[in-house]
Amino acid sequence: MSDKGLADKIGDLLDTADKVIDVAKDNEDTIKEVVGQDEEHDIKDREPLRELHKDEDKVLIVLEHEGGEPEKAGVEYRNGSLIVELGDMEYVAEAPRDILLETMDTNYSNGVFELEIQRGE
């Protein structure tokens, strides 16, 4: 792909973004009527965040945990599964066998618990 082709595509993308902004501005009243203005939306029924990311070097588990920082937390590896206990909740995730539990690093911030474990060879 030539640089000119890429520059043209970027220019087209920016032009499209400008058009979307213009349409939104021209229809601001209608959008507010449909979407609502200054309304609160209840999101209690949504599923909590639960993710496992694996790459060559590490495994990262991200868990949303309501109710503040858990008083007790534990991590165990059993039969190909990583078991994470946060307070009264238990989360089970399939994990590679080459994880090194001794390298475990955890972080809890704003209701999200992160667990990172390095992988061996």
List, for residues 40-81, the tens digit of each pLDDT value: 555 556 666 788 899 899 999 998 887 777 778 888 998 888
Its pTM stands at 0.58
Average pLDDT, the chain: 81
Q: Give the integer Cα–Cα distance in Å for 66 and 77.
A: 24
Q: Contact, 87 vs 74, CB < 8 A?
A: no
Domain ranges of the chain: 3-35, 50-118
CATH number of 50-118: 2.60.40.790
**Residues linked to residue 30 through DSSP beta bridges, in sequence order:** none
Amino acid 33: pLDDT: 73
CA angle 35, 36, 42 (to 5 degrees): 90
Q: For the residues 31-48, what does the mean pLDDT come to? A: 63
